[in-house]
Amino acid sequence: MALAILGGTGKEGQGLALRWARAERDVILGSRDAAKGREIATALNAKLGSERVRGAGNREAAAASPDVVVSTLPDSGHIEILRDIAGELDGKVLVVATIAWPPGPTSEPSAAELARDALDALGRSVRVVAAFQTVSAGTLRKTESEPEDVLICGDDADAREATSALVDEIGLRGVHAGRLKQARIAEAITGALLKINKHYGVKSTGIRITGIDPG
């Protein structure tokens, strides 16, 4: 089943596209510029040795993704784009990887909550889930990496489960981290990871939650 990645020509979107394509899922890279989407899809297919990825405009990508749409749109402008294509998101799960930038305190809403609020205000029925905030593009580009988790935050249990299944496909573990508001903490962790990257001179730190599986 096809999966759209809005803003999919960015590093995070490309990383996710590679992972899902390797898991034999058809991926539609959405872009503001459909030609750019197609160009990057061609490059990813060359890397993959397959034809799993195609490029499109964001609206067309969302329309072609039947159940779940993933957004790696950058913070700047993501609400505007989501409003613009809201009709294509109606009735679907929207997995938001976007992070409010620069990271603010947890007293302020996360990018995922702002997306939910904007779609609600348009009367659209979109179940928004936050995921992938803490996962770096560098990690996604690797074919093997340390066991790493994806924090999954959302108010709808089925939507969280659907997201978790997509995470499983790409060799990461989804950890249910509570309601959508908890995306604020996922964003805060990402801010901390960027500082940790800098301190250690690395680029792709992430997190693992220990102690979930009774040992």
Residue whose CB is less far from a second copy, 35 or 192:
192
Q: Min. distance of Cβ 136 from a second copy in angstroms?
A: 7
Structure tokens at 55: 């490029």
Vertex 121: Cα angle to 115 and 126 (nearest 5): 55
Q: Min. distance of Cβ 105 from a second copy in angstroms?
A: 4
Q: Min. distance of Cβ 156 from a second copy in angstroms?
A: 15
Residue whose CB is less far from a second copy, 24 or 213:
213
Structure tokens at 182: 């908890």
Residue 21: strand pairing partners? none
Amino acid present at 120: D
Residue whose CB is less far from a second copy, 47 or 179:
179
Q: Min. distance of Cβ 164 from a second copy in angstroms?
A: 12
CA-closest candidate to residue 9, choices 50, 49, 56, 52: 56
Residue whose CB is less far from a second copy, 102 or 211:
211
Q: Min. distance of Cβ 34 from a second copy in angstroms?
A: 34
Q: Tell me how far CA of residue 167 lies from CA of 28, 67, 108, 187, 199, in angstroms.
A: 17, 15, 27, 18, 29
Q: Mind giving me the DSSP string for 22-49?
A: HTT--EEEEESSHHHHHHHHHHHHHHHT
The whole-angstrom separation of Cα 122 and Cα 135 is 30
Residue whose CB is less far from a second copy, 121 or 196:
196
Note the residues at the interface with a second copy (CB under 8 A).
Answer: 105-108, 136, 138-139, 144-148, 151, 175-178, 182, 184-185, 188-189, 191-193, 195-196, 199-200, 202-212, 214-215
